[in-house]
């Protein structure tokens, strides 16, 4: 009950902030609501967040007044050490018992990267001069503080400095994103989750080759539905209050190359790695081979960001090699003027990308290297395809969900869909009867949709519980 009362108090503060005309008062109410919301994950976590915000703010002030790579490194080292203390030190078995019981503050991986991006932007002399209140709000902003998307201060600061008001179009579009996100998380991810989680946790199970393939595909889509669903929820919630956040997913499984996939999957983190790791490191040397090395190193960091596990780092290295191979193929095609058909480029590229990403999910999800090796061994063993261990219902559910996803995405790009969307756009812009009908139609169907989602969760889950968001572990 205390949690619900606290969340309601935080929501009331945020709503009150939308009606005040003074933007400083709005910022104060938003920050208070964000802190009230965050403190339910632990007062000690809130203390760490506030301390990190204050230290990084004054590091930025000092760096602005005394530009130099040395002071930038001070900020980098501070943030990396703080994150490592909570995220990586407890993972080492040789660490003392005291360190093994340290809990990482919720969302620290995300807001630490936001702090680092601020320091990098200050070093590159971007025009930013936030107040301490504005910077603390940027670090603790309630939709993004737990699991992103990772924001950039140059985009958020102008939005914090606007006086707020509720706009009907924002409420409608935001609520649709929330409903879509809830459906992805509470229905689609829950259909795949129980079998996938149980199967990977049965380390000694002797899975067949087909089982491993379908578990890898299932985990990839479970992760997508879960995290993209969460991203839709927070982006929609922020939109309702007039804030535009970074998109985090853009149909990644329809990518025809590894490069395209990683510009569409966890986009806020991928772009962060590109802008603040890959580009600066690639500029150190002009050698083309160095860029391939930097790709692998950047993706290794991408894997390490997820946790202090060898499997994460190896997963990142493998994805970096996949990206480097793609670039190498493109370079060879340009050098020797090799041309392939558009169909082969798109469909063939999609097959290679889907297979490469899916194989990587085995390493990402495996509990240890031994389990990953056993599962890859099953994939490579022709004899293992003669047996199957997974329940038949999982095969059916996975086929329906994956086929339905691709069919839906194809339908959304059809001419008929665009014509229907255009007609709705006309209705929304019409100030008369059509717009009134469209708005009332949405509010008429939204509550039943939410109720259907809740009922579906209760039916699909025997325990009537929902697993936590998967990226809360990172």
The rounded distance, in Å, linking the Cα atoms of 183 and 474 is 23
The predicted-structure confidence for 19-74, as pLDDT tens digits, reads as follows: 777 888 889 989 999 999 999 888 999 999 999 999 999 999 999 998 889 999 99
The rounded distance, in Å, linking the Cα atoms of 427 and 424 is 5
465-to-3, 161, 224 alpha-carbon distances in Å = 18, 40, 20
Q: Which two tokens stand for residue 319?
A: 């994805």
Element (H, E) at 380: helix 369-380
Q: Which DSSP string do the residues of 61-76 spell out, in sequence order?
A: HHHHHS--HHHHHHHH
Supply the Cα-derived Rg of the chain in whole angstroms. 24
The predicted-structure confidence for 166-217, as pLDDT tens digits, reads as follows: 777 788 788 889 988 988 988 888 888 888 988 888 766 778 899 999 999 9
Positions of the chain with pLDDT under 50: 1, 3, 426-434, 436, 461-464
- DSSP letter (8 states) at residue 128: -
Nearest to 211 by CA among 363, 394, 403, 400: 394
pLDDT number for residue 463:
44
pLDDT number for residue 343:
67
pLDDT number for residue 416:
64
pLDDT number for residue 449:
60
The rounded distance, in Å, linking the Cα atoms of 144 and 34 is 10
Spatial contact of 41 and 106, defined as CB atoms under 8 Å apart: yes
pLDDT number for residue 207:
83
The predicted-structure confidence for 143-175, as pLDDT tens digits, reads as follows: 999 998 999 999 999 999 887 677 777 887 888
The end-to-end CA distance of the chain, in Å, is 27
pLDDT number for residue 426:
45
pLDDT number for residue 219:
95
Residue 168: count of CB within 10 angstroms of its CB: 10
């Amino acid at each position: 009950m205390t949690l619900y009362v606290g969340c309601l108090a935080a929501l009331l503060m945020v709503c009150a902030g939308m009606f005040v005309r003074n933007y400083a008062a709005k910022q104060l109410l938003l920050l208070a609501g964000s802190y009230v919301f965050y403190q339910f994950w632990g007062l000690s976590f809130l203390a760490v967040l506030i301390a990190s915000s204050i230290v990084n703010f004054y590091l930025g002030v000092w760096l602005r007044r005394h530009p130099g790579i040395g002071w930038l490194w001070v900020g980098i080292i501070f943030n990396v050490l703080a994150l490592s203390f909570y995220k990586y030190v407890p993972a080492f078995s040789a660490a003392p018992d005291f360190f093994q019981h340290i809990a990482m503050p919720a969302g620290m991986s995300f807001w630490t990267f936001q702090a680092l991006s601020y320091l990098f932007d200050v070093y590159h002399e971007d025009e930013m001069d936030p107040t301490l209140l504005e910077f603390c709000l940027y670090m603790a902003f309630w939709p993004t503080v737990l699991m992103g998307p990772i924001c950039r201060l140059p985009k958020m600061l102008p939005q914090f400095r606007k006086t707020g008001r509720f706009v009907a179009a924002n409420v409608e579009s935001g609520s649709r994103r929330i409903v879509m996100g809830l459906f992805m998380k509470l229905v689609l991810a829950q259909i795949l989750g129980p079998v996938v989680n149980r199967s990977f946790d049965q380390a000694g199970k002797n899975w067949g080759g087909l089982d491993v393939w379908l578990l890898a595909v299932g985990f990839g889509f479970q992760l997508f539905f879960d995290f993209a669903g969460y991203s839709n929820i927070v982006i929609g919630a922020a939109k309702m209050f007039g804030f535009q956040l970074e998109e985090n997913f853009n149909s990644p499984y329809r990518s025809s190359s590894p490069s395209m996939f990683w510009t569409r999957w966890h986009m806020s983190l991928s772009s962060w790695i590109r802008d603040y790791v890959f580009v600066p490191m690639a500029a150190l040397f002009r050698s083309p081979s160095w860029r391939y090395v930097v790709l692998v190193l950047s993706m290794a960091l991408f894997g390490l960001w997820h946790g202090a596990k060898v499997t994460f780092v190896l997963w990142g290295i493998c994805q970096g090699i996949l990206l480097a191979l793609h670039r190498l193929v493109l370079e060879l095609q340009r050098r020797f003027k090799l041309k392939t058909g558009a169909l082969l480029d798109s469909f063939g590229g999609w097959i290679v990308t889907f297979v490469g990403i899916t194989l990587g999910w085995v390493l990402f999800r495996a509990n240890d290297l031994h389990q990953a090796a056993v599962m890859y061994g099953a994939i490579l063993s022709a004899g293992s395809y003669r047996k199957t261990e997974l329940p038949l219902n999982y095969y059916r559910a996975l086929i329906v969900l994956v086929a339905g996803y691709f069919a839906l995405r194809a339908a959304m790009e059809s001419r008929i869909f665009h014509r229907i969307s255009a007609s709705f756009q006309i209705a929304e812009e019409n100030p008369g009867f059509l717009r009134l009908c469209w708005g009332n139609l949405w509010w008429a169907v939204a509550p039943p949709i939410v109720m259907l989602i809740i009922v579906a969760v209760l039916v699909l889950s025997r325990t009537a519980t929902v697993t936590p968001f998967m990226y809360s572990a990172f």
